Every structure is written in structure tokens, then in C-alpha cells.
Structure 1
Amino acid sequence: MKRNGYCIVLDFDGTCVKHAYPDVGKDIGAEPVLKRLIANGCNLVLSTMRSRDSEGVDTLQPALDWFAERGIPLYGVNENPTQKEWTSSPKAYGNIYIDDGALGAPLKADADGSAYIDWSKASAYLYYMGLLTGTDLMDMVDEGSIDLELKTE
């Protein structure tokens, strides 16, 4: 099951890490899922409000470093590099968008109410979309990367 070229547009704060802007937040379990998506042929486009502003403040580089340090390649940053071939739209194109601010995104919350992506639930969604395999899910459960609770009510 290779999804070569399938493009996932991905937020950073609250999606890959907990909210701690301008710092990089704590781990929320994105890394193993993102690595499996890459292994399954997906491309990741980072779409973030982080930037290199006109006063020389760079909040983007720490996010880029987070991906590089984990060996997670990005296909694009705030743009899909191939979409210029068929559109002049500035909106980053993707087949799926993962963002803690998206309606219906599977979320967890800290005691202070700060919400972030629940990668265990997101993994199940990605499986149903054909982007992760059953083996991917079982391996991540065995590794302790995700927790899949099956509830019958």
C-alpha cells in the first residue's frame, strides 16, 4: 500500500507538538505516525504561522529543526512545490489537512484546557483512509507509540 505523492498538509503547534509558541512544545506522539506516512509514500507539507519576520525573529527554524532532528523530510513549507504547475493560489494544496484547529480533528486536552491532536485517534482515521496499514497500527501499539481502545457500546 504505497500512496506515492499523496500530500498531507500539516500544522505544527498543537499538531506535531504541544502549544508552547514561540518555543517548541513537548512531544504528543506525532513522530512515529509521520514516519510511517512517509514510509508509505506520503509527502508532508508544513503549513504554519511560524515565520522569519522582518525584525529578524525566526520562529520557523525551530519547527524545521524538529522535523530534521527526527529524520522526517518535508516536501514543502507553507507551500506545495508542485501546485504552481497548475494554479497560482497561495493556499498550500494537499489531499488531507491535519490541524488542531480543524473542525472534527481528534483532540486531547491538558489540565489547563490546551488542546492538541490525539495521534492515537488520528492514526485510526489515517488507517481508514488507506494511508496507514493494519501492520503500521499494530506495530505502533506494540511500540507504545499509540493506544487504540476499542469500545463497544
Structure 2
Amino acid sequence: MIIAVDFDGTIVEHRYPEIGKPVPFAIDILIKLREERHTLILWTVREGALLQEAIDYCAAHGVIFYAHNANFPEEETTRASRKLTADLFIDDRNLGGLPDWTAIYRAISAMRHGSQDIIPILYGQPNLTARKQKRGFFAALFGDN
């Protein structure tokens, strides 16, 4: 799987332009995902020297990314859109916020084994799409009472 990962607020606490404290388990799980042959791309607002600081920080902690703000290392972003063709994005600005990294790992593992219902894994919510019983419009809106 190709996984794009944000830096500030995702791998480290959000202290941009400084580098914040590590987010618990982020580095360990990114290393594990690489060991499992996932392709990791660092996807961040950082550019230039600030981007290099993030790359160096991750490398010093054992996380080497395939590419940085690009689909592949040789991509010329001045000639192409910066939109990635990733299968999955891990970002603190995600709807619902950043789940715990252990939940992220469990969800990716479930996806790898064919599961498409990862919301309960990420956020501990019941499967809202599993209901088979047909309900009328007003029952869905106001409940079955």
C-alpha cells in the first residue's frame, strides 16, 4: 500500500516551524509499516530547509521515506500537480482527528487483509452501515419510537 504521512501533528506534536515532541508510537509503527513493505511518502506543508529538518529527524529515528511531497523521488513538482496517488493518508487534520497510532496500524492491517470497515477500529464506533433492516425516512430521522 502507498501511505502518505503528514509530519507536524502526526509524527511529532504540532510546533511548526519547530519540531515538536514525538507522537507516541508514530515512529515505531512507521518502521513496522516499512518492514511490511508499505511505501511511505512524507506529505507535509514543509518545504526547503524545514522539509529537510523533518526528513533528517525521521531518518535519525529510523524512518526513511520513499519520497517527500511527491509520488516518487524524481518527480518534478513544478511540472505536475502535488496531489499524490496514495492509497491512504495519515494526517492530524483528518475528519475526526488523528486516531491513536496503534489503531492506525490495526486498521491498515485489516485493510491489507480485505476489510473495508475500519471506522470501528479507528474510532471505536459501531458499524453504522451494517444495519440490514429497512427504515422509513422519519424513523431514520427521529428514531423508531
TM-score (norm 2): 0.67
Given the alignment, which residue of 11, 15, 33 partners 2:10? 15
Does 2:119 match 1:128? no
Q: Which residue of 2 aligns with 1:97?
A: 89
- Any runs of at least 4 consecutive aligned residues in structure 1 with deviations exceeding 4 A, and if so which? none
1:41-61 deviation per Cα after TM superposition (whole angstroms, max 9, x unaligned): 011111100112xxxxx2111
Mapped to 1, the partners of 2:12 and 2:89 lie a distance apart of 16
Mapped to 1, the partners of 2:28 and 2:67 lie a distance apart of 20
Instruction: Judge conservation of contact 1:106–1:121 (CA < 8 Å) in 2.
Output: no
Deviation at 1:82, TM superposition (A): 7.9
Partner secondary structure for residue 58 of structure 2: helix
Q: Which residue of 1 aligns with 2:135?
A: none
Q: Which residue of 2 aligns with 1:135?
A: none
Q: CA RMSD in A?
A: 2.6
TM-score (norm 1): 0.64
Given the alignment, which residue of 15, 20, 33 partners 1:37? 33
Does 2:63 match 1:72? yes
Deviation at 1:72, TM superposition (A): 1.4
Does 2:48 match 1:47? no
Shift of the 82–50 alpha-carbon distance from structure 1 to 2, 3 Å rule, reads: closer
Counterpart amino acid of 1:44?
Answer: L
1:107-144 deviation per Cα after TM superposition (whole angstroms, max 9, x unaligned): 4xxxxxxxxxx21221221222128xxxxxxxxxxxxx
Q: Percent identity?
A: 35
Instruction: Judge conservation of contact 1:44–1:74 (CA < 8 Å) in 2.
Output: yes
Partner secondary structure for residue 129 of structure 1: helix
Unaligned runs of 5+ in 2: 114-123, 125-145
Unaligned runs of 5+ in 1: 1-5, 53-57, 108-117, 132-149
1:62-82 deviation per Cα after TM superposition (whole angstroms, max 9, x unaligned): 101111102211111101118
Which structure's CA Rg is the greater one? 2
Shift of the 83–104 alpha-carbon distance from structure 1 to 2, 3 Å rule, reads: farther
Q: Which residue of 1 aligns with 2:72?
A: 81
Q: Which residue of 1 aligns with 2:139?
A: none
Instruction: Judge conservation of contact 2:10–2:98 (CA < 8 Å) in 1.
Output: no
Deviation at 1:89, TM superposition (A): 3.7
